[in-house]
Amino acid sequence: MSEYKKGFSGGRLPWVLALLVSMVAAIVLWQWLPSRHVVAGANSPGIPAMVADPVEPILPLPDVPGLPPERVALGALLFQDRRLSANQTLSCASCHDFTRGGADGQRVSTGIGGAQGTINAPSVFNSSLSLAQFWDGRALSLEEQAAGPIHNPLEMGSDWKQVLTRLRQDIDLDKAFRRAYPDGLTANNVAHALATYERTLLTPNSRFDRHLKGEQGVLSAEELEGYRRFRSLGCTSCHQGALVGGNMFQKFGVLRDYFAGRAVSEADQGRYNVTRDEEDRHVFKVPSLRNVALTAPYFHDGSAATLAQAVSVMGRYQLGRELSSDDVALIVAFLKTLTGEWQGVVLQ
């Protein structure tokens, strides 16, 4: 007992306690700060979100999966079909243009009759690998996501009854659905066909993927240094895995308040609109950085016009630091190596 009292009052025990407290605090911060809002894996409640190898945080994109060709073909037709919109002027491809990296190049999308949406359109490329769909993650599958734009009055402004009535008048399409699905042309099957097609929209074989697979000399010294800084600054805390993002939710403004001094819209509330949990206010799905050089403007509000501006904003609000012009230029150089191929051709 005397030894215990001695250590507690003036010996080595306070130093040991301080060390233990510091270690615990570091572990808690490491677990909490970078990924406070990690959620379960895509479409699989209760299964942890996939994280990359700690040695190499980014993974190559997988190959395009083998899926029923007749359903893929139907989905491809429907993706371009303007009969899905109320006034038959818009298709899925209107806001997910393959020549614009699978997005539309606008701050917010334009719906039927010129209606302006409330949020930036994410890319459809590689979306099947994301843990959820939409910025706020309100749809857990591509099938569930398909109904969103069709019913949204600011997008397609239609409904399943109207869509199915039109499509069933197309005799060839109706027959194709009967061949592909036992119950023919239904709302569920339209959504499934679209989702099946979208699962083929992977863009593998970027130069960075080739580098990950061991190809020598595919990246320049500048691009390699950009990736080194991307990692050392902590960007891979959120942007990792095969999508270089897309596998967790995170607050926009971890270390500084991104929304301070500005009018806050409903879209700015992010995942809070889904959960009504105060901790989810201003929380969004971390966007994939695949093909990011092609999908300006950036963020849910389309507020960053250039990739360099987006990198600077990320440094300021997510990392709590002002990145140098050298840091920004090198990281942008690295990000450009994430542009992949679609149907064997490099996206531009």
In degrees, to the nearest 5, what angle opens at C-alpha 227 toward C-alphas 226 and 232? 100
In degrees, to the nearest 5, what angle opens at C-alpha 253 toward C-alphas 250 and 256? 150
Provide CATH code, domain 33-61+204-346.
Answer: 1.10.760.10
- pLDDT value at position 54? 56
In degrees, to the nearest 5, what angle opens at C-alpha 29 toward C-alphas 25 and 35? 160
> What whole-number distance in Å separates Cα of residue 332 and Cα of residue 292?
10
Q: Which two tokens stand for residue 311?
A: 């990198």
Q: What is the pTM of this model?
A: 0.84
Tell me the residue type at 170: D
Provide CATH code, domain 69-198.
Answer: 1.10.760.10
- pLDDT value at position 34? 39
315 contacts: CB under 8 Å, gap ≥ 6: 233, 321, 322, 323, 327, 328
- 3-class SS letters over 258-327: CCCCCCCCCHHHECHHHHCCHHHCCEEECCCCCCHHHCCCECCCCCECCHHHHHHHHHHHCCCCCCCHHH
155 noted as active-site residue: yes
DSSP 181: S
Q: Do domains 33-61+204-346 and 69-198 have the same CATH topology?
A: yes
Q: Which residues is 116 bridged to in the sheet?
A: 110
Catalytic, out of 3, 143, 155, 278: 155
Closest CA to 72 of 202, 169, 179, 192: 192
In this structure, what are the phi and psi dihedrals at residue 156, rounded to the nearest 5 degrees? -90, -25
pLDDT in tens, the chain (348 residues): 333 333 333 343 343 344 344 444 433 333 334 333 443 333 333 323 334 445 899 999 999 999 999 999 999 999 999 999 999 999 999 999 999 999 999 999 999 999 999 999 999 999 999 999 999 999 999 999 999 999 999 999 999 999 999 999 999 999 999 999 999 999 999 999 999 999 999 999 999 999 999 999 999 999 999 999 999 999 999 999 999 999 999 999 999 999 999 999 999 999 999 999 999 999 999 999 999 999 999 999 999 999 999 999 999 999 999 999 999 999 999 999 999 999 999 999
Contact 133, 89 (CB under 8 A): no
Q: Where do the domains of the chain lie? A: 2-31, 33-61+204-346, 69-198
